[in-house]
């Protein structure tokens, strides 16, 4: 089962619902909305999609199927940006 | 309705008193003066005033700001009472509660103070400086840099932290539309 983890070569800061981070390898800045931030914070250890969803479902009122679709979308985006990788 | 004073929403002043970022050099290096105001201002503002390209300003941090405005009850520069930051506008529009606004200010203060502390440790300098002054200092240090160092030295990490703080301050305090322009769509993870 594919697991995901955050790219550790980043510096980040969070205020209220927004997180801004810099990828040190790319020298680029990114901003993450509330849901992306929640996913990012969970990925300090390798997690599979269903493990990610289990944690998010404890926090957000959303059905499992919708949660899976959202998480998949966010992960694809973050992998493309180099913020998260598969392990 | 001429002469009718604008009343601030209840709680707005509490946010301003807790914050002070627009006075203490966290957000700006200078404040605009209205035409003809120079010569009528409190002494320290007068001393800090200058003209650039036909417009008048005074340098920040304001010399009357010591954790709060110490001349609140006397006539100040127009900008002191007229400037409204993004956070106040959002509070006014009901987009953030007073508690959320206070939380944003408290967290931003912590973040800024930690960056200033980091700078003191790295530079060995003891004097207290404003956040905008820190940015100037880092710009100067970077200007002296040969560019051969990889992005892992302490100053580069501090600069990245400062840029992140600036971006967050732009979103919540300075202007949300400027934040959107600053980050660009391709840098946003919002699915």
**pLDDT tens per residue, range B104-114:** 999 999 999 99
> CA of B87: which chain A residue's CA is closest?
A16
What values do phi and psi take at B50, rounded to 5?
-160, 165
Q: Of the candidates B65, B60, B164, which has an alpha carbon nearest to the alpha carbon of residue B112?
A: B164
- Judged by CB atoms closer than 8 Å, whether chains meet at B163 and A83 is answered as no
What gap in Å lies between CA A10 and CA A27, rounded to an integer? Answer: 9
> pLDDT averaged over chain B?
89
As for the ipTM of the complex, it is 0.82
Percent of chain B with pLDDT over 90: 72
Task: Specify the pLDDT at position A36.
Answer: 93
Q: What is the pLDDT of residues B25-58, one digit of tens each?
A: 999 999 999 999 999 999 999 999 999 999 999 9
- The contacts of residue B49 (CB under 8 Å, 6+ apart) are B33, B38, B41, B56, B57, B58, B59
Q: Provide mean pLDDT across the span B128-135.
A: 96
Task: Specify the pLDDT at position A26.
Answer: 87
Domain boundaries, chain B: 28-84, 89-182
CATH no. of A3-81 = 3.90.930
Structure pTM?
0.86
- Judged by CB atoms closer than 8 Å, whether chains meet at A15 and B111 is answered as yes
Q: Give the closest of B164, B169, B183 to A11, CB-based.
A: B164
Task: Specify the pLDDT at position B100.
Answer: 96
Q: What is the pLDDT of residues B84-101, one digit of tens each?
A: 999 999 999 999 999 999
Q: What is the pLDDT of residues B169-191, one digit of tens each?
A: 999 999 888 888 888 877 888 76
What gap in Å lies between CA B141 and CA B136, rounded to an integer? Answer: 9
> CA of A18: which chain B residue's CA is closest?
B168
Pairing relation of β-strands B188-189 and A28-32?
A: parallel
| Lowest pLDDT segment from A28-32, B19-23, B33-37, B140-144 | B140-144
Task: Specify the pLDDT at position B1.
Answer: 39
> CA of B112: which chain A residue's CA is closest?
A13
Start-to-end C-alpha separation, chain A: 10
Residue A57, min C-alpha distance to chain B (Å)? 18
Residue that wins the pLDDT comparison between B1 and B119 = B119
Task: Specify the pLDDT at position B7.
Answer: 56
Q: How confident is the model at residue B4 (pLDDT cuts 50, 70, 90)?
A: very low
> pLDDT averaged over chain A?
92
- Judged by CB atoms closer than 8 Å, whether chains meet at B152 and A15 is answered as no
Domain boundaries, chain A: 3-81
Contacts of A11 in chain B (CB under 8 A): 157, 160-161, 164
The H or E element that residue B41 is part of is none
What gap in Å lies between CA B58 and CA A45, rounded to an integer? Answer: 50
């Amino acid at each position: 089962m594919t697991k995901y983890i955050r790219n550790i070569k980043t510096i980040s800061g969070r205020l209220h619902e927004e997180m801004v981070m810099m990828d040190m390898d790319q020298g680029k800045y990114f901003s993450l909305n509330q849901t992306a931030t929640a996913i990012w914070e969970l990925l300090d250890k390798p997690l599979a999609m269903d493990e990610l969803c289990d944690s998010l479902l404890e926090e957000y009122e959303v059905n499992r199927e919708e949660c899976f679709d959202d998480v998949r979308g966010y992960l694809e985006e973050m992998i493309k940006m180099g913020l998260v990788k598969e392990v | 309705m001429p002469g009718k004073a604008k009343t601030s929403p209840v709680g707005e002043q509490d946010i301003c008193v807790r914050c002070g970022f627009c006075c203490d050099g966290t957000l700006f290096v200078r404040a605009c003066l209205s035409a003809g105001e120079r010569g009528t201002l409190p002494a320290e503002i007068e001393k800090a005033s200058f003209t650039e390209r036909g417009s008048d300003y005074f340098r920040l941090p304001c010399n009357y700001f010591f954790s709060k405005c110490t001349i609140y009850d006397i006539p100040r520069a127009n900008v002191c009472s007229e400037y409204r930051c993004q956070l106040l506008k959002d509070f006014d529009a009901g987009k953030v509660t007073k508690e959320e606004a206070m939380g944003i200010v408290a967290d931003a203060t912590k973040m800024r103070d930690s960056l200033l502390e980091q700078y003191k440790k790295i530079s060995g300098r003891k004097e207290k400086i404003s956040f905008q002054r820190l940015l100037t200092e880092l710009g100067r240090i970077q200007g002296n840099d040969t560019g051969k160092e990889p992005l892992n030295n302490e100053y580069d990490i501090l600069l990245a932290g400062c840029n992140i703080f600036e971006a967050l301050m732009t979103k919540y305090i300075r202007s949300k539309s400027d934040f959107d322009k600053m980050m660009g769509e391709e840098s946003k993870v919002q699915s």
